[in-house]
Amino acid sequence: MRLLLLGGTQFLSRAVAAEAVRRGHVVVCANRGRSGTVPPGVRTVRWDRAEEAPAELTDGASYDAVVDVARHPSHVRRALDAVPEAHWVFVSTISVYADDADPAGPGKGALRPAITDDVDAAESVDAYGGMKVACERLVLDELPGAAVVRPGLVVGPGDPSGRFAYWARRSTATGDVLAPGRPSDVVQVIDVRDLAAWLVTLAEDGTGGVYDAVGAPLPIADLLGECLPDANLVWVDQEFLEADGVQPWAGPDSIPLWLPRPAYDGMLAHDAGPALAAGLTPRPLAETTRDTRAWLDADPAARIGGITAEREADLLSRWGSQGF
For residue 36, the model assigns a pLDDT of: 87
Please give the domain boundaries of the chain with CATH numbers for all domains: 2-151 (3.40.50.720), 165-187+218-267+284-321 (no CATH)
pLDDT of residue 75: 97
Question: What's the pLDDT score for residue 302?
Answer: 86
What is the CB-side half-sphere exposure of residue 136 using CA atoms within 13 A? Answer: 27
Average pLDDT across the chain, whole number: 95
Q: What is the pLDDT of residues 129-180, one digit of tens each?
A: 999 999 999 999 999 999 999 999 999 999 988 899 999 999 999 999 999 9
3-state secondary structure of 270: coil
pLDDT tens per residue, range 190-222? 999 999 999 999 999 999 999 999 999 999 999
240 phi and psi, to 5 degrees?
A: -65, -45
Tell whether the model's pLDDT for residue 23 goes beyond 70: yes
Mapped onto helix, strand or coil, the DSSP state of residue 209 is strand
Measuring CA to CA, which residue among 90, 76, 8, 70 is closest to residue 42? Answer: 8
pLDDT tens by residue, 98-128: 999 999 999 999 999 999 999 988 778 889 9
Tens-digit pLDDT profile for residues 217-266: 999 999 999 999 999 999 999 999 999 999 999 999 999 999 999 999 99
Residue type, position 16, single letter: V
pLDDT band at 290 (very low <50, low <70, confident <90, very high): very high
Q: What is the pLDDT of residues 60-95, one digit of tens each?
A: 778 999 999 999 999 999 999 999 999 999 999 999
Beta-bridge partners for 176: 232
